[in-house]
Structures are given as structure tokens and as C-alpha cells.
Structure 1
Amino acid sequence: MTISEVSKKYELSQDTLRYYERIGLIPPVNRNKSGIRDYTEEDCRWVEFIKCMRASGLPIEVLIEYVALFQKGDETIEARKDILVEQHKVLVEKMEEIKKTIERLDYKITIYEDSIVEKEKDLKKLED
């Protein structure tokens, strides 16, 4: 696939894809005879993985470390797992914070809704 096709498929700009490759977030992409990037299915899996991890808030530095370890081979499996476990913990904590915020918003919304209902009742009484 060309960079244009990958860009459209994963809704990432071509500049972002080049940047991810340049900083080592995705392994170097092979090029065709004309020097144009030719993304393989494996390259696309990396793009998809990085996009997912970035969307969940993982820092670029952590992902660079993860990819570098991956490229070193199986002797880094434990280190890679440790990175993912740590990031999982961070995401669970964020999720709990978001859950608490949602609960607070629900509470505040209920108060406003109750207030609106009471005002409507008061207005109806005045009209009667």
C-alpha cells in the first residue's frame, strides 16, 4: 500500500506516518524501485497498533521504547510485557477518574433537571 492509501485507511496524515517512521514508532517501511514507501500488512499492523496506543494516551516515548525492544527480539519479551502492564495500570486509573467525573456530572445534571421541573411546576401554579 502507498502512504496515501495507509493515510486514508487509518485516518492519519502522511506527515504523521513519516514522523512515526522517522522516530522509530513504526519500523522502517520498504520502498519500491521509485523510492515510494510500500506498506506491507505487517507495517499496517504497526500503524494500527500505534494509533490505538496513542489514542488511549500512551506517551510517544513509551511506544518508542516498546518498538525498540520488539526489534531486539524475543529476549525482550518480559520487558515489553512490563511496559504494557504498566500502561494498562495507568489506563485503568484514568478510567476510574473518568468514571468518577461522569458520576459527578450525572449528579449535577439531575439537580438541574429537578430544578427545571420545580420551576415548571411553580409556573404552572401561577398560571392556574
Structure 2
Amino acid sequence: MNYAIAQAAERSGLSIDTLRYYERIGLVDPPARDSGGRRAYTDADLGWLEFLTKLRTTGMPIRMMREYAQLKDSPGAAMRRRQMLVDHRKDVLERIAELQTSLDALNHKIGLYDDQLCPPTQAAAG
């Protein structure tokens, strides 16, 4: 199935401008064109866009995403691409741990306010 750029934008959650930008900087291969010369995205294109969105959500820099994308069609680049993902996963896990520590601090502070604003009653304590 083929999708016009507006449909691809809607399905991917990216803007039309972002799709064009990703194409211009080499994150996505230029999609095929229909008989009218308009971009025609495939399900495979949308799958790649979904993965790129996941990489962005994890905080992967565009520079690193571009390197990863450029290696996509290179024979023998699987080890490098894998290592890039392994390295980035380590960074993501470190950020998750930092966020968890911050969340724990927030929960602790909220608990202090809860104790102050809504002290337990004698009936509940007994």
C-alpha cells in the first residue's frame, strides 16, 4: 500500500515538514513517486519512520541517527549498527535510573506534604 505525504505524516505522527527534513538530511531514503510525481510512502517506510521516532524519543542525537541510517544499506555494517544501539541503550538506562531517583525524591516530598496536610486519624491508627 502507498501513502501520500499527508497520510504518512498522519500515520507516523510526524509533520510533513519533518518528513521532508528527514529526507533532506538522509534519515529516510527518498520515497518512490506516484504517476503525478508525489511522494508515495510504503508500509516499510512507515516502519522505518516509527523506529526513527523511537530513537528520537530516547534522546538519540540526529547526528547519530544519520550515521545509523547511512549504514542501513552498507554490507557488513550490522556490527557497527548493533554497537551504536548497545551504546545508546546504556545511555538510556542511565537516564532511566536518574529519572527513577528523581521520581523517588518527588514521591518522598509528596508523602511529607500528605502527612502534614492529612495526618492519620486515631481510628485509622488503631
Q: Same fold judged by TM-score > 0.5?
A: yes
Distance 1:49 1:27 in 2: 14
Gaps of 5+ in 1: 122-128
Relative to its length, the structure with more strand (as a share) is 2
Q: Point out 4+ residue stretches in structure 1 off by more than 2 angstroms.
A: none
Question: Whose Rg is larger?
Answer: 1
- What's 1:90 paired with? 91
| Structure 2 residue aligned with 1:68 | 70
Query: Cα distance, 1:56 vs. partner?
Result: 1.5
Of residues 46, 50, 53, the one that matches 2:52 is: 50
Q: Which runs of 5+ in 2 are unaligned?
A: 122-126
Q: Shift in Å at residue 82 of structure 1?
A: 0.5
Shift of 1:67: 0.6
Cα distance in 1 between the residues matched to 2:13 and 2:80: 30
Aligned-residue CA RMSD in angstroms? 1.4
Aligned AA for 2:21?
A: Y
Give the counterpart letter for 1:62 in structure 2.
M
In structure 2, how many angstroms separate the alpha carbons of the residues matched to 1:80 and 1:115?
Answer: 52
Give the number of aligned pairs.
119
Q: What does 1:1-128 align with in structure 2 at a 5 Å threshold?
A: 1-73=3-75, 75-118=76-119
Percentage of matched positions with identical amino acids: 35
